[in-house]
Amino acid sequence: MKRTGSLFLVALLAGTLTLGAYKLLFENPSAHGISSGQELPVFQTSNLPVYPAGAAIEGVDFTLAAENTVNAVVHVKNITLSRGPSLLEFFYGYEERARPQVGTGSGVIISPDGYVVTNNHVIAQANQLMVTLNNNKTYEATVVGTDPTTDIALLKIEEEGLPYLAFGDSDQVKVGEWVLAVGNPFNLTSTVTAGIVSAKARNLGRNQSFLQTDAAVNPGNSGGALVNIRGDLVGINTAITSQTGSYIGYSFAVPSNIARKVVQDLLEYGSVIKGVLGVQTLRPDLVKERGIDAVEGVYVESVEEDSGAEQAGLRQGDIIKQVDGVKIRTFTDLTGYIASKSPGDRVEVRLERGGESVSVPVEVRERQTLQLPLLGFTVKNLSEADRKKFKTDQGVKILAVPPSSEKYGLVGKVILAVDGQAIRDVKDAGKYFGEISRYGQTSITLMDEKGEKERLIFQ
């Protein structure tokens, strides 16, 4: 009996302590900084807190940004007709009917009259494009233009008075800033996820700058909106890093300043006009190999002829630290910012030269050099001196060739035409060499300094 009584007292004491601890830790609002009358945050599998209506994180409220964004984000359906090989076709010549294949993604309305920005890979090879709004209205879309390099495409639907998102300034986005990803993952419309900007100027092997975020992005989100807490469009969701095909922690977006510039070029020119400073930079590992002190910035290895950088007086050894007040830590920082500019724009470059800080204005110009597709030649536009020497106003000069082509003595010659198509500049060269078939033969017309022409045939 005494033993039973002792056990009862122990149980009673334990229960009292447990109840007291529960009240102290979970019912005391000050223990979690939650004001009286508010619900506690609920944590999902992504470990992102979901707050009740009216609650905020240090004054941050996601509801307004979400409300302003969901109606401007659309569902994009890509219908592609494909016909694979069949036994009937092989044995009897019977041509099988094309079967429709459907791909889906997201898009963002950027004007009230129906312009929609999305990813190029969302609409690639489409025979028909259908855009569905958040109110379930569906429209057939036409392609205004695409830029595979930045993975941006511009569509148009015929409607007026549509809800739309305004472009924000992605250069002003800060690491650690809250953002929302809005799209249609797995065909689930108007899905909003929250996260922070994990990094800026990420290079995914495309020599392009991306915003990195931990907001959940899954298949179907491509082409959707990345917005700040004010609902400004700061990025177009593009890619995830995953071995499974689904979100595992990080996603990437094309910065809004780059997307906006691409859209403007597609509307005005039908293609993207890219500008460059005209500097060749040294990789960070080579900077260390040469015994140069570690630097934060971009080390200039050389300056391209007839470039804005050459005209501004940039030279080898300069370290670019800022452009228009934007801090430059890596080459991707530099290319990402310049990608938002057009030829003819002027930027203020702050650099370190011989231990001193120097600021110079530099004109952004069209790229003067290009590596040709397939053949791998590096060519450049003709300078004024080249035009006088070769007595021609058109063509591109060969600067370098792969080792397999060095025996032909091509460096220093001018390419005038490829497969009978006259070449005026590097833009023509990129276009016509890009159309070369890998399985045919290619004819290149060249001219040397003496004005003598020759034709080479590449198999």
3-state secondary structure of 363: strand
366 contacts 275 by C-beta, under 8 angstroms:
yes
Mean pLDDT taken over the chain:
80
From CA 31, how far away is CA 219, in angstroms rounded? 40
Which pLDDT score, from 0 to 100, does residue 3 have? 44
- Looking at residue 5, its pLDDT comes to 44
From first CA to last CA, the distance across the chain in angstroms is: 102
φ, ψ of residue 74 in degrees (nearest 5): -120, 165
pLDDT of 145 above 70: yes
Least-confidence region, from 185-189, 269-273, 326-330, 423-427 = 185-189
How remote is the C-alpha of 149 from its chain's centroid? 8
The CA–CA distances, whole Å, from 87 to 98, 99, 201, 237, 295 equal: 15, 16, 50, 41, 63
> Which pLDDT tens digit goes with each residue over 110-127?
999 999 999 999 998 889
Name the residue with higher pLDDT: 456 or 396: 396
256 classed as catalytic: no
| Residue 46 annotated to the active site | no
Of 121, 198, 307, 340, which is the active-site residue? 121
331's tokens: 């080459």
Give residue for tokens 């963002």: 108
Which of the residues 75, 106, 147, 151 is marked catalytic?
A: 151
CATH architecture of the domain with residue range 56-272: Beta Barrel (2.40)
What's residue 247's pLDDT? 60
CA 433/CA 214 separation, integer angstroms: 40
Q: What value does the CA radius of gyration of the chain take, rounded to a whole number of Å?
A: 29
- Confidence grade of residue 397 (pLDDT, cut at 50, 70, 90): very high
Per residue in 198-256, pLDDT (tens digit) is 999 888 765 678 999 998 887 788 999 999 999 999 999 987 655 555 666 678 999 99
pLDDT of residue 387: 92
Q: Look at domain 276-366 and name its CATH class.
A: mainly beta
Picking from 392, 366, 374, 393, the residue whose alpha carbon sits closest to that of residue 432 is: 374
Exposed / middle / buried, residue 424 (Cβ in 10 Å: 0-12, 13-18, 19+): middle
- Report pLDDT for 6: 43
Cβ atoms of 184 and 104 within 8 Å: the answer is yes
The answer to whether domain 276-366 and domain 369-458 are alike in fold is yes
% of the chain residues with pLDDT over 90:
46
pLDDT at 262 over 80: yes
The string of pLDDT tens digits covering residues 20-71 is 433 333 333 322 222 223 332 222 222 333 333 333 455 577 898 999 899 9
Whole-number Å distance between alpha carbons of 247 and 239: 10
pTM exceeding 0.85: no
Listed in order, strand segments (DSSP E) in 217-373 are 225-228, 233-240, 251-255, 275-276, 279-281, 298-303, 319-323, 326-327, 346-353, 356-363, 365-366, 369-371
Query: In the predicted model, is pLDDT for residue 326 greater than 80?
Result: yes
* CATH superfamily placement of domain 369-458: PDZ domain (2.30.42.10)
The answer on pLDDT for 372 being more than 70 is yes
Distance from C-alpha of 378 to C-alpha of 369, rounded to nearest angstrom: 7
Catalytic option among 222, 256, 307, 340: 222
Can you give the residue ranges of every domain in the chain?
16-43, 56-272, 276-366, 369-458
Among the listed residues 84, 158, 82, the one whose alpha carbon sits nearest the alpha carbon of residue 124: 82
- Band (95; pLDDT cuts 50, 70, 90): low
Query: Does the active-site annotation cover 271?
Result: no
| Contact yes or no for 152/236 (Cβ under 8 A) | yes
- Alpha-carbon distance of 340 to 326, in angstroms, equals 13
